[in-house]
Structure 1
């Protein structure tokens, strides 16, 4: 493995990641909590944070919701090492305006910023704002053109673009390229159009949590697609429950599972607003798990040694960036940093020493 493993976290943009009603984690999606969370994650050694984008809370309209791009700018100013990844739904921002915001946050962060393009699953969020929620495959065509405009503007190119969805005449953004050619581009989605977009335009493909064999097949599929430039890198989401023993971890898992089953109204609300063509929802329906974006279906529930070994297996399969979720978030994030991160480093060192010499 010549790619180092990077461990990141999900920001709590809409509060709890596994179950809404948890006595150990009262609901809180505030800026103050997220700021403190990310600053602590940086101090603990986490490498990146994903700030998902929703304008309205996807679980219930009365719940608080952190705004991704203003929060990311503020996080960029208050951190010093951690990568800030801000998700973006292309239909919410014109590419010229978004590219300017991205280059500004890149400057604020000193070259630690990334965008995560997601083509959206929440129909209500878009249509209730008076915007067009295109059908699944057209959203990817729209997103591909949108991203091609943003990418060139972030590079500082003078752009003249006449496309299906956007017309941009002799546009150039400054400053640009102060720290590197442009911010990193992550892309989410697992449908065939999403994989085409990843192969054509992404630096990193962000895969939702699922079993190892699924992830291996997804990586092989994208690696086999036509590609110009550097190879695609891969990230994975997972919800982690790690304890001293497997039995303790399973007990913690069952607690969250029972709490999550109480959220029937939330699940009905999400289902009613979800485009049924979204691949993520189809995949998630196959597995019992807790957490969002695949949750625990990747198998990261167990003893500290078991969880470290499973993450090492994903790393060996090609996963470079692991974005973790926890509940209650802060104490479990600390537990992971204290008990699992050192085991991952030891596993990596042992395997590096044990690798056969090429001399």
Structure 2
């Protein structure tokens, strides 16, 4: 586990405390869970995303994930913030927070995406990363006339794609002859090796795990119970790898309150609202790749929120959630990528009440160990 420190004087974390990092999902497609939550209107605008990420940075969050969809899976008539122009703009207006932009390789030729990534990395002064996602929502490719390839073929494509993007963003000359691409001595500038974007990878199938071990700096796991997460971490950590050890991140939807009873009442509200959203969710599942492992996982662990959401168990009192976070951290989770609803209110609540409790637990343990 790495030490983290901040230049921000308002940081809630003691300098040099070994701790996990915390991030927020940028609200690129509107609310994360219920479309009918009282008082939480749909908003996927640039202005809302800018305001939310700037406030997250002020509160002490370390990262933000900008998910990529051309079409909003909750309804094509709904707005969806474009991930890469949005990430560039966020890089320009922030000063400390890591900007992670998701990318679906079939939508961008690797040379031209690498150019965009290297430029954003310069704008962000090294705070930029990309999250390779090999696509699951079929309409946004098929409606544009782009072939939605078979699951395993998409990972083979992503492997070759990433083998080109990664060295280009480090300023290396790339010559490549593969199944999908032919590159003749290409080099990009600016592309500073010290600002090379970190590579996150999502997906829990066997090809995804192989690719994570082979090429990713970090692997994102969907929200699931602690024992399952431990098994997933071991599965990837045990695979052949060159270079630094891989890091692990976890997605989760949080409901944090003073007492467990209050949190459970809020969870019950979300389950009632989920009944109203059921037709929308059925449409999302109907348009998803049936071979995508995450949807098998979602059926196994009913939850609120996307990407596993409340299945990670971060629903309860501030003290209980802090203790669970430390357990996940001990299991190997370095970054928690969190969703909230209403986003601004609940992200602030988490920072004010849970950050200090996590810091206290880790500081007390470090003092005892010393």
TM-score range, shorter chain: over 0.9
- Output aligned runs, 1:212-223, within 5 Å: 212-223=226-237
Aligned: 1:316 with 2:330: yes
CA distance in 2, matches of 1:302, 1:77: 36
**Corresponding residue number in structure 2 for 1:249:** 263
Aligned: 1:126 with 2:141: yes
Aligned: 1:330 with 2:344: yes
TM-score normalized with structure 2 length: 0.94
Root-mean-square deviation (CA, aligned residues, Å) is 1.0
Q: CA deviation at 1:271?
A: 1.2
**Corresponding residue number in structure 2 for 1:68:** 83
Aligned: 1:177 with 2:192: yes
CA distance in 2, matches of 1:327, 1:168: 45
**Corresponding residue number in structure 1 for 2:217:** 203
Deviations for 1:21-46, whole angstroms, at most 9, x for unmatched residues? 11231111110000000000000000
CA distance in 1, matches of 2:255, 2:38: 17
**Corresponding residue number in structure 1 for 2:43:** 28
- Output aligned runs, 1:48-59, within 5 Å: 48-59=63-74
**Corresponding residue number in structure 1 for 2:296:** 282
Aligned: 1:295 with 2:281: no
CA distance in 2, matches of 1:282, 1:354: 42
**Corresponding residue number in structure 1 for 2:248:** 234
Deviations for 1:251-277, whole angstroms, at most 9, x for unmatched residues? 011111111221122112101110011
CA distance in 2, matches of 1:229, 1:287: 34
**Corresponding residue number in structure 2 for 1:272:** 286
SS in 2 for 1:327: coil
Which among 95, 108, 121 is matched to residue 93 of structure 1? 108
> Is contact 2:122–2:195 with CA below 8 Å preserved after alignment?
no
Where does structure 1 differ by over 6 angstroms across 4 or more consecutive aligned residues?
none
Q: CA deviation at 1:181?
A: 5.4
Q: CA deviation at 1:4?
A: 2.9
> Is contact 2:126–2:195 with CA below 8 Å preserved after alignment?
no
Deviations for 1:253-312, whole angstroms, at most 9, x for unmatched residues? 111111122112211210111001101111011122100000000100000000111111
SS in 2 for 1:186: strand
> Gaps spanning 5+ residues in structure 2: where?
3-17
Deviations for 1:64-118, whole angstroms, at most 9, x for unmatched residues? 1000000000000000000000000000000001000000000001110000000
Deviations for 1:185-210, whole angstroms, at most 9, x for unmatched residues? 00000000000000000001011100
| Alignment length (residue pairs) | 355
Aligned: 1:306 with 2:320: yes
CA distance in 1, matches of 2:302, 2:342: 20
Which among 128, 134, 141 is matched to residue 156 of structure 2? 141
**Corresponding residue number in structure 1 for 2:359:** 345
> Is contact 2:121–2:195 with CA below 8 Å preserved after alignment?
no
Q: CA deviation at 1:132?
A: 1.1
CA distance in 2, matches of 1:351, 1:144: 41
> Is contact 2:223–2:310 with CA below 8 Å preserved after alignment?
yes
> Is contact 2:25–2:66 with CA below 8 Å preserved after alignment?
yes
> Is contact 2:19–2:362 with CA below 8 Å preserved after alignment?
no
